[in-house]
């Protein structure tokens, strides 16, 4: 584990309908709370913690998450990911996630806040069985600076690679570099301040369901743009432009609630930390 600022390894398995940790290891500036069971579904919920409060110059974080057959897990963070100024070397986080047959993972981290002069790279590599289910979201804010300027960070770079039955089906690379991009213009943020992405992969997915999802989220009174696209496998992606974190969270929550009800006949529970 040498060279890592924080390390977290978590493997979970299904035991008679309840998901429990098979092994948990963490070191440095990454920790995980004891699991919470919000209902009687057996799904475990883990909150990821960064005791240091944020990512600093040259920090490197590693997560490895594995779900056994039929294990069901929700992962979220205790608060926003804050990346402070990185004047010498970028902050970096990588995650390796494996999902066995019939497993179910929700990974809903809180928003990313990149401070002035921050340089941040993140890479997620997810390998999953075609019978597994994945729900993943991320939200990027315009960051923070002492003067109140927006998009004053150096770089925010997010890369997602998803493999289903060994085949690459999603390669999603987002690279924002305000100093050389017209970040507010067409093809980038298009006048909005916040960007949200959601990836859903489930073998219950079909094209008619995507139309139903769209009907569930249209008609919000706040200012936003949303795009939905089918994946080459059973799943879809969502991109949302808005001006508040809470607006994107509402859209993602509406989609999550609908999926929970229609596919799993389950109630959505709150992950609020405040």
pLDDT by 10-residue block (mean), the chain, 274 residues: 88 97 96 93 95 93 98 96 96 98 97 98 98 98 96 98 98 96 90 98 92 90 95 96 97 95 84 62
Query: What pLDDT is recorded for position 1?
Result: 46
Distance CA 215, CA 252 (A): 13
Distance CA 250, CA 30 (A): 28
Query: What pLDDT is recorded for position 273?
Result: 58
Distance CA 11, CA 22 (A): 5
Query: What pLDDT is recorded for position 23?
Result: 96
pTM of the model: 0.95
CB atoms under 10 Å from CB of 190, counted, come to 12
CB 4 within 8 A of CB 28: yes
CB atoms under 10 Å from CB of 152, counted, come to 20
Query: What pLDDT is recorded for position 36?
Result: 94
CB 79 within 8 A of CB 47: no
Instruction: Give the gyration radius of the chain's Cα atoms.
Output: 18
């Amino acid at each position: 584990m040498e060279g890592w600022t924080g390390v977290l390894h978590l493997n979970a398995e299904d035991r008679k309908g309840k998901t429990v940790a098979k092994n948990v290891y963490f070191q440095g500036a990454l920790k995980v709370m004891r699991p919470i069971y919000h209902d009687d579904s057996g799904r475990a919920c883990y909150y990821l913690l960064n005791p240091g409060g944020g990512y600093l110059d040259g920090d490197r974080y590693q997560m490895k998450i594995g779900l056994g057959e039929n294990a069901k897990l929700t992962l979220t963070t205790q608060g926003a990911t804050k990346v402070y100024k990185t004047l010498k070397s970028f902050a970096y986080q990588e995650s390796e996630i494996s999902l066995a047959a019939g497993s179910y993972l929700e990974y809903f981290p809180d928003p990313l806040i990149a401070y002035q002069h921050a340089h941040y790279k993140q890479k997620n590599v997810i390998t999953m069985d075609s019978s597994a289910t994945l729900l993943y979201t991320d939200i990027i804010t315009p960051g923070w600076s002492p003067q109140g300027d927006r998009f004053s960070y150096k770089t925010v770079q997010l890369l997602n690679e998803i493999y289903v039955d060994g085949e690459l089906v999603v390669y999603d690379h987002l690279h924002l570099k305000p100093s050389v991009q017209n970040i507010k213009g067409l093809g980038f943020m298009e006048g909005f301040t916040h960007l949200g992405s959601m990836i859903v992969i489930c073998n219950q997915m079909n094209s008619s369901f995507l139309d139903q999802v769209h009907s569930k989220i249209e008609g919000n009174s706040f200012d936003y743009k949303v795009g939905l696209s089918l994946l080459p496998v059973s799943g879809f992606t969502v991109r949302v432009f808005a001006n508040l974190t809470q607006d994107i969270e509402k859209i993602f929550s509406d989609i999550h609630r609908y999926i929970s009800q229609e596919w799993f006949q389950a109630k959505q529970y709150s992950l609020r930390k405040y």
